[in-house]
Amino acid sequence: MKKLFSFFSRLTVVLLAIFLCISLFLNLYTRVSLGKIEDGYFIQSGYACAIVTSGSMENAVFKDDLILIKGASSYKKGEIATYVSEKGTLITHRVIEVTENGYVMKGDANNSPDGEISRQRFMGRVYFVVPAVGLVINELSSPVGLIFLAVFSIGLFLILKITKKPKKEEGYPYEI
């Protein structure tokens, strides 16, 4: 029974550590991507991450989903793409029409289209969606989240120390 408990406690610690590492990586990658976009860099090739902040694309992409955006030079009708608005915010909507100068976009849950968006304002198409991870990233980025990460890391360290059996040294006359 002790071996089974030890196995599951170690498995839990490993899985939590992996989750923690993935969360931290996505958090940093998202922050760097958003920082580059805010500085005026557009992604024509490569990838960026963003967190969906509204429900305008619900049933396809939901609020707090993490989206991976792949740079592209052109888009087809029906694709979900991300562009930078005139205010500098990211908007992820569906292409409903291809025009000479750009694209007409519309959120699936919206009643009216966004209007024509020039090709130069597009970042890329939505390549992959990770549901609800944005909520975790936002929470871990907050002051309370950072304190939680610190306490969690210390707790993992202590659990590993407590569950680890001390090694017996050969030739030492006393057991510990």
Q: What mean pLDDT comes out for the span 120-134?
A: 89
Q: What mean pLDDT comes out for the span 125-130?
A: 93
* pTM tops 0.75: no
- Strands of 80-84's sheet in order across: 47-51, 66-71, 122-130, 80-84, 90-98, 102-106, 115-118
Q: Which two tokens stand for residue 50?
A: 């963003």
Averaged pLDDT of the chain: 82
Q: How confident is the model at residue 137 (pLDDT cuts 50, 70, 90)?
A: confident
Write the CB contacts of 45 (distance below 8 Å, at least 6 apart in sequence).
71
In a domain, 165, yes or no: no
In a domain, 166, yes or no: no
In a domain, 175, yes or no: no
Domain count, the chain: 1
Higher pLDDT among residues 140 and 37, named by residue: 140
In a domain, 28, yes or no: yes
Any idea what the CATH number is for the domain that residue 14 is in?
2.10.109.10
- Residue 25's Cβ-side half-sphere holds a number of Cα atoms within 13 Å equal to 6
Answer yes or no: is pLDDT of 175 > 60: no
Answer yes or no: is pLDDT of 99 > 60: yes
pLDDT (0 to 100) of residue 147: 86
The domain of 89 spans: 6-159
Answer yes or no: is pLDDT of 153 > 70: yes
Interval 55-65: pLDDT, tens: 999 999 999 99
In a domain, 54, yes or no: yes
Using DSSP, state whether 104 is helix, strand or coil: strand
Answer yes or no: is pLDDT of 30 > 70: no
Q: How confident is the model at residue 85 (pLDDT cuts 50, 70, 90)?
A: confident
Q: How confident is the model at residue 25 (pLDDT cuts 50, 70, 90)?
A: confident
In a domain, 167, yes or no: no
Q: Which two tokens stand for residue 117?
A: 């968006």
